[in-house]
């Protein structure tokens, strides 16, 4: 059943990539409001998933220095992954400002390809983390899947926009975004295989995932919410964040 739960969860996560069509179907203002609520909800589920599910499962045999280092490794690895992507995006974007239109288009296409590569690696880690969570327990797997899905919705819509900017047609952007998302199946397969080979995989992946969740929520999502200064909008974001934590509490 662990394999079935994992594959179904990864399929759901992969299908989220098709929501990129919302980038075209919804007005920019409405989409921005929806995305900020999703970002708030996602931040809550990621933090709740990390502190209420992943870390408690990781410290059942005691909160050791190893657990702390693995949590920190999750933070650092996700930071390095995003740093690499942003550095190359910035480099290609800066170079494009000084080149001919033809070269500029080439740089824009390079941004799209790089975005797909980075997204594919991110999705691989998502699959790995989902598989590792289900190897511990079904509730932990469900909690992780919900956190990943809610984070992926705004992320995939943004990725779709990047591919359109890079010159991909709407159909190609949707197709390549979906194919990139299916790399999560590879990660899940590797996770299930490693879990079957060694018990230490689970003890490694859970605190690592917790660190990744904390990094994404703290460095990517919550800073976006600080940009909104309207009281009523901010209140909605706070409620959504607390609702995300509440979802994780209900899964305990």
**Could you tell me the pLDDT band of residue 182, with boundaries at 50, 70 and 90?**
very high
- Calpha distance 129→180 (Å, rounded): 17
Higher-confidence residue of 226 and 87: namely: 226
**Could you tell me the pLDDT band of residue 32, with boundaries at 50, 70 and 90?**
confident
What residues have CB less than 8 Å from 131, skipping those under 6 apart? 6, 10, 187, 188, 189, 190, 191, 192, 195
**Could you tell me the pLDDT band of residue 43, with boundaries at 50, 70 and 90?**
very high
Question: Could you report the per-residue pLDDT of 84-138, keeping only the tens digit for each?
Answer: 777 755 554 544 444 444 444 555 677 788 888 888 999 999 999 999 999 999 9
Token representation of residue 130? 């989902």
Q: Is the pLDDT of residue 238 over 90?
A: yes
Q: CA distances (Å), 191 to each of 46, 105, 137, 188, in order?
A: 20, 38, 14, 5
The predicted model gives 171-200 an average pLDDT of: 93
Ranges of H-type helices in 21-100: 22-25, 28-48, 55-58, 65-96
Token representation of residue 24? 């075209």
User: Tell me, what's the pLDDT at 98?
Assistant: 47
Neighbours of 12 (CB within 10 A): 15
Q: What is the mean pLDDT of the chain?
A: 88
Q: Is the pLDDT of residue 41 over 80?
A: yes
User: Tell me, what's the pLDDT at 90?
Assistant: 57
User: Tell me, what's the pLDDT at 46?
Assistant: 96
Q: CA distances (Å), 90 to each of 69, 78, 111, 246, in order?
A: 31, 18, 9, 37
Q: Which range is least confidently modeled, 34-43, 67-76, 84-93, 179-188? A: 84-93
Tokens 């662990």 locate to 2
Neighbours of 31 (CB within 10 A): 17
User: Tell me, what's the pLDDT at 105?
Assistant: 56
On whether the CB atoms of residues 54 and 209 are closer than 8 A, the answer is yes
Question: Could you report the per-residue pLDDT of 61-92, keeping only the tens digit for each?
Answer: 788 999 999 999 999 999 998 887 777 555 54
Q: Quote the distance between the C-alpha of residue 130 and its chain's center.
A: 12
Q: Is the pLDDT of residue 186 over 60?
A: yes
User: Residues 50, 82, 158, 214: what is their CA dihedral angle, to the nearest 10 degrees?
Assistant: 10
């Amino acid at each position: 059943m662990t394999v079935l739960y994992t594959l179904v969860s990864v399929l759901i996560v992969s299908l989220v990539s098709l929501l990129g069509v919302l980038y075209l179907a919804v007005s920019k203002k409405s989409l921005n409001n929806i995305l900020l609520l999703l970002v708030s909800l996602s931040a809550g589920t990621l933090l709740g998933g990390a502190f209420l599910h992943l870390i408690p499962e990781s410290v059942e045999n005691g909160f050791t220095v190893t657990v702390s280092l693995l949590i920190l490794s999750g933070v650092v690895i996700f930071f390095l992954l995003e740093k690499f992507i942003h550095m190359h995006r910035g480099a290609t974007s800066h170079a494009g400002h000084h080149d001919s239109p033809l070269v500029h288009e080439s740089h824009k296409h390079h941004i799209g390809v790089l975005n797909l590569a980075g997204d594919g690696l991110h999705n691989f880690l998502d699959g790995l983390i989902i598989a590792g969570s289900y190897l511990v327990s079904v509730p932990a797997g469900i909690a992780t899947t919900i956190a990943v899905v809610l984070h992926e919705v705004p992320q995939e819509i943004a990725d779709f926009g990047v591919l359109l900017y890079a010159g991909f047609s709407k159909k190609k952007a949707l197709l390549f975004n979906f194919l990139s998302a299916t790399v999560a199946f590879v990660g899940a397969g590797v996770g299930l295989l490693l879990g079957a080979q060694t018990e230490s995989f689970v003890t490694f992946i859970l605190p690592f995932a917790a660190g990744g969740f904390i990094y994404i929520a703290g460095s990517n999502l919550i800073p976006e919410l600080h940009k909104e200064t309207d009281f009523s909008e901010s209140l909605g974001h706070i409620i959504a964040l607390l609702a995300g934590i509440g979802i994780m509490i209900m899964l305990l």
